[in-house]
Amino acid sequence: MTMPSSAHPARTVRVDLANRSYDILIGPGLIETAGREIAARRPGARLAIVADETVAALHLDRLEASLAGAGLASTRILVAPGEGSKSFPTFERVVEALIDAKIERGDLVVALGGGVIGDLAGFAASVVRRGVDFVQVPTTLLSQVDSSVGGKTGINSAHGKNLVGAFHQPVLVIADTSALDTLPAREFRAGYAEVAKYGLIDDAAFFSELESNWREVFEGGRARLDAIETSCRAKAAIVGRDERESGERALLNLGHTFGHALEKATGFSQRLLHGEAVALGMAQAFRFSAKLGLCAPKVAERVEDHLAEVGLPTRLQHIAGGVGPVSDLMAAIAQDKKVARGSLTFILARGVGGAFIAKDVDPAAVQAFLEEEATPA
């Protein structure tokens, strides 16, 4: 059903989850064919599109035209752009709007936007009428390679990131790579951190390729499509084996325990985007691994060099305005979901492509590491 719309034909990655399996369609111009893809899977469904105002101004008309062309009726629900929309007040407004739009079982919620919209709209879909299906139409690099895949949905609490949510798999992901052409450079770079993450977790060859070819990925075309497909295949494989994160899915949190604490310390603001926090957190995870004697210091330097070369932050000192005291970072780490009965779980690494889940990490060692990181060399 997927149509080649240019020199770069669309690709399909399958997420295998028994009766919750779905396709990820990746390619340029897919918003134009979204109506046909959705109608083929869910003829006659009513649709409610959730988008942020920025994405709506750029891409919503195209999506609505595509849906109407396939005979699908849709309504739109718009929210403010930014992490602030992953909040209880916005969640309530979206849920009420979905009910008001008479979205019922058999109908579809469509999340058009980045990870904020996917997480928010997916969570709303998971609770309205005890759960309606949803489609992800991710429009940032980060959401195309990570957040739209795997079914983690949710909002933030005053206590920290993503502390309220549900597992709710989409029924389809449509990643239109042309949408990335309107993405600000800083946002694209932030999403690249999650691409590099897949190499660092368990694919050293992919990381080496990125070290050589990252400029082509940033330029677009085939290299970008290849990197998005490789990332989606990596995520689909892990999610297929461990949907609910009872084991290896935790590897996808590489850089996130430090990163989430940094996002909280910077007030979930434009001072540090999620992907930037992940980049810094991954650099820290490798330096911490080196400090614990798990990997050679030159491995940590290699990781830092690549992230810094693409323009991502790798040191606390790179965060405009700083991050406050280490005690605040430690408090945020203690609230993270990766804490089991007080002992800290981190994703550490024995090398590039050699990430592993480390349980029972000594909080005093983390504190000493962060004190060192906070002291300029």
Site residues (CB under 6 A) for ligand NAD? 52, 54-55, 58, 81-83, 86, 113-117, 119, 139-140, 142-143, 146-147, 150, 152, 161-162, 179, 182-183, 187, 190, 274-275
249 binds, among ligand GLY, ligand NAD, none (CB under 5 to 8 A by kind): ligand GLY
The verdict on whether 152 is a catalytic residue reads yes
Q: What's the distance, CA 329 to chain centroid?
A: 22
The verdict on whether 130 is a catalytic residue reads yes
Active-site residue among 36, 42, 256, 264?
256
C-beta of 66: minimal distance to ligand NAD in Å?
16
The two structure tokens encoding residue 98:
């979905």
C-beta of 239: minimal distance to ligand GLY in Å?
7
Q: Report the side by side order of strands in the sheet with 355-361.
A: 339-340, 343-349, 355-361
Active-site residue among 64, 83, 194, 209?
194
Active-site residue among 8, 59, 189, 235?
235
Active-site residue among 11, 36, 59, 152?
152
The two structure tokens encoding residue 89:
């007040």
Subset of 209-268 contacting ligand GLY (CB under 6 A): 249, 252-253
334 by Cβ neighbours in 10 Å (0-12 / 13-18 / 19+) ranks as: middle
Report if residue 152 touches ligand GLY, rule: CB under 6 A: yes
C-beta of 127: minimal distance to ligand NAD in Å?
16
The verdict on whether 256 is a catalytic residue reads yes
User: Which residue number, 133 or 146, has a Cβ lying nearer to ligand GLY?
Assistant: 146
User: Which residue number, 114 or 150, has a Cβ lying nearer to ligand GLY?
Assistant: 150
Q: At a CB cut-off of 8 Å and minimum separation 6, what does 228 contact?
A: 26, 141, 144, 145, 175, 177, 195
**One-letter identity of residue 198:** Y
Number of residues that bind ligand GLY (CB under 6 A): 6
DSSP 8-state code for residue 47: E
C-beta of 31: minimal distance to ligand GLY in Å?
24
The verdict on whether 159 is a catalytic residue reads no
79 binds, among ligand NAD, ligand GLY, none (CB under 5 to 8 A by kind): none
143 binds, among ligand NAD, ligand GLY, none (CB under 5 to 8 A by kind): ligand NAD
What is the residue-wise DSSP string for 211-241?
A: HHHHHHHHH-THHHHHHHHHHHHHHHHHHHH
Asked if residue 139 lies in contact with residue 226, where contact means CB atoms within 8 angstroms, the answer is no
> Between the CA of residue 97 and those of 47, 119, 121, 153, 165, what are the distances in Å?
12, 17, 11, 18, 19
**344 DSSP β-pair partners:** 339, 361
Q: Report the side by side order of strands in the sheet with 22-27.
A: 11-15, 22-27, 172-176, 133-138, 108-113, 47-52, 74-79
Nearest to 129 by CA among 156, 158, 159, 96: 96
Sign of the alpha-carbon torsion through 179, 184, 189, 193:
negative
Which of these ranges, 86-94, 146-154, 312-320, 357-365, lies near ligand GLY under the rule CB under 6 A? 146-154
User: Which residue number, 183 or 201, has a Cβ lying nearer to ligand NAD?
Assistant: 183
C-beta of 138: minimal distance to ligand GLY in Å?
13
Sign of the alpha-carbon torsion through 272, 50, 69, 59:
negative
The verdict on whether 253 is a catalytic residue reads yes
C-beta of 182: minimal distance to ligand NAD in Å?
4
Nearest to 372 by CA among 326, 333, 336: 326
The verdict on whether 274 is a catalytic residue reads yes
209 binds, among ligand NAD, ligand GLY, none (CB under 5 to 8 A by kind): none
C-beta of 358: minimal distance to ligand NAD in Å?
21
Active-site residue among 274, 287, 306, 338?
274
Asked if residue 35 lies in contact with residue 68, where contact means CB atoms within 8 angstroms, the answer is yes
Applying CB under 6 A, the residues found at the interface with ligand GLY are: 146, 150, 152, 249, 252-253
Catalytic residues: 130, 152, 194, 235, 245, 249, 253, 256, 260, 274
